[in-house]
């Protein structure tokens, strides 16, 4: 568990959660357990995603994947343990009220479960070696990649006591952010540097996956990404947090090189 948690990475999801909560005026201590739980879920998903039965990857964040460093059974159990520990640390967080614990565990479970990340992963596997539409691709990634990113945004706004209207707006912004991240991921799989990425480039093509550059061309993929960046920034302006670290993060994510 610690090997994969400490393997590096951007800590993007917890940072987004904390940046959103900060933009809404929340106290930092109220975000720490939820942010850690979110990173545990993300790390579990990567461990399982790398397994031979899934993407069968040897490297993650520039290091051997969990099943290569240890063995397949250990990797499966490490992922299982991170998944279950995530709920435990939220329910034991003394800074949260009972209502907040219930909301956050429920929303994180929905985002990572059978109608969220897991369903997106399943549909992604079923679409391999098949021609799919842009609409189908966006549906897959709204779930597979986007659900945890959306949770980070919504949870941060909730902890910051955003209004129901603001939470609805931030939900849409979170969905746009998920697509920004995935499109840039697909672009980097074509144009990126393997040393910076910590994994081989071209892995999507090797795994026969549909991608934005494949469907739209490289320039078309960039235009699609810019459309969602504009949508996200308009939402931040609407909820009056456009001058925030969160806004800077969205721009950074759209231009990242790893």
Q: Which CATH number does 11-255 carry?
A: 1.10.600.10
Structural contact between residues 169 and 235, judged by C-beta atoms closer than 8 angstroms: yes
Q: What is the pLDDT of residue 23?
A: 95
- Which tokens in the block code for residue 113? 């479960």
Q: What is the pTM of this model?
A: 0.91
CA distances from 137 to 125, 128, 143, 214 (A): 12, 11, 10, 11
What does the domain layout of the chain look like in residue ranges? 11-255
Q: What residues pair up with 60 in beta bridges, in sequence order? A: 63
State pLDDT tens for residues 111-168: 999 999 999 999 998 998 888 999 999 999 999 999 999 999 999 999 999 999 999 9
State pLDDT tens for residues 54-66: 989 999 988 999 9
Give the separation between CA 249 and CA 244, rounded to whole angstroms: 9
State pLDDT tens for residues 227-247: 999 999 999 999 999 888 998
- pLDDT band of residue 5 (cuts 50, 70, 90) is very high
φ/ψ bin of 256: left (φ > 0), alpha (ψ from -120 to 50), beta (otherwise)? beta
């Amino acid at each position: 568990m610690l090997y994969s948690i400490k393997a590096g990475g951007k800590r993007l999801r917890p940072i987004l959660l904390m940046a959103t909560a900060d933009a809404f005026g929340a106290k930092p201590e109220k975000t720490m357990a939820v942010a850690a739980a979110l990173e545990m879920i993300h790390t579990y998903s990567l461990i399982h995603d790398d397994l031979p039965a899934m993407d069968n990857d040897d490297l993650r964040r520039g290091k051997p994947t969990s099943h290569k460093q240890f063995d397949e059974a250990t990797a499966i159990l490490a992922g299982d343990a991170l998944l279950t520990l995530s709920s435990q640390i939220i329910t034991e967080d003394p800074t949260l009220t009972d209502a907040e614990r219930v909301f956050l565990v429920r929303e994180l479970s929905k985002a990572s479960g059978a109608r969220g990340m897991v369903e997106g992963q399943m549909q992604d596997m079923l679409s391999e070696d098949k021609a799919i539409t842009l609409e189908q691709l966006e549906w897959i990634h709204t779930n597979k990649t986007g659900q945890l990113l959306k949770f980070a945004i919504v949870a941060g706004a909730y902890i910051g006591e955003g209004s129901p209207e603001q939470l609805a707006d931030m939900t849409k912004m979170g969905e746009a952010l998920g697509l920004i991240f995935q499109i840039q991921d697909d672009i980097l799989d074509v144009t990126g540097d393997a040393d910076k990425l910590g994994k081989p480039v071209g892995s999507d093509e090797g795994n026969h996956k549909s991608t934005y550059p494949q469907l739209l061309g490289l320039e078309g993929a960039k235009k699609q990404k810019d459309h969602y960046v504009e949508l996200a920034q308009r939402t931040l302006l609407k909820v009056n947090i456009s001058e925030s670290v969160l806004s800077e993060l969205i721009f950074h994510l759209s231009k990242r090189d790893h």
